[in-house]
Structure 1
Amino acid sequence: MAYSVTNSAGKVVDAILTDLPGLLAIAVVDLNSGMSLASHSNSPAINPDTAAAYNTEVIKQKQKAMAALKLQGEAIDDVLVTLSNQLHLLKLTEAGTKFIYLVVNARDTNLAIAREVLRTHAAQLN
């Protein structure tokens, strides 16, 4: 594991691993820098630290699109990317300074449960 469990991001990763033990990868990411604050992968094919930087750009581009559309009073809750076999979920904190990046198997995971787990634990990062 690439973090210290004494920090809040590490504790959130541990808690989500407990709640969703079958996840493929997870990272808590600083939105300003794109750097992982804590991460874990159960798949050698997925490096959540590398993905953190790219997913930071996904969120920033969506925020720019929202500004261009003048969507005042709106904020990104989460971003879902559905792949053939995986779900990639980006859950922003209420303050909008961090997000949780989660990768799960699309066939083995209930999306509603995954979203609820992320919602609950994202609140701990505020």
Structure 2
Amino acid sequence: MDSKQVQRAEKTIQAIRQELPELLAVAVIQIETGQSLAAYSALPALNPAKAAAHNAEVIKQKRRAIAALKLADERIDDILISLTTQAHLLRVSQDGARLFYLVVDNQDTNLAIARTILAQHSS
């Protein structure tokens, strides 16, 4: 793993945590390998690094679906997974190599603000 990528991912997580202190978890993941570059969780039971490969697979599968539909001019910006009490937001970096994974509580967080913050930091 490239140490510059890890440092950049750690800085991104710090910046997101400052702007969205109520978040439950956040991670930066290499899509191709499913490996977590950096992760943070406010809850011991919620391990975003452990979920990294699964979330990367969601992106890979959606990319396959886009290709099957011949949507050549389309790319994934983000995917929202709504759970009973949480929202899991997957955002792909502009170069398509990294996945930014954010978990927030539905009661405590404005989803539009969370999406905006994640978009600002997912370059």
Cα deviations by residue, 1:68-122 (Å, 9 ceiling, x for unpaired):
1111100000010000000000011110000110000011111110011011111
Cα deviations by residue, 1:40-81 (Å, 9 ceiling, x for unpaired):
000111111111110011000000011111111000000100
Unaligned runs of 5+ in 2: none
- Residue 11 (structure 2) pairs with residue 11 (structure 1): yes
Q: How many residues are matched?
A: 120
- In structure 2, what is the equivalent of residue 118 of structure 1? 118
**For 1:1-126, what aligned pairs fall within 5 Å after superposition?**
7-123=7-123
Unaligned runs of 5+ in 1: none
User: What SS does structure 2 have at the residue aligned with 1:46?
Assistant: coil
Root mean square deviation of aligned Cα: 1.5
Q: What TM-score results when the alignment is normalised by the length of structure 1?
A: 0.91
1:11 Cα deviation after fit: 0.1
Identity %: 51
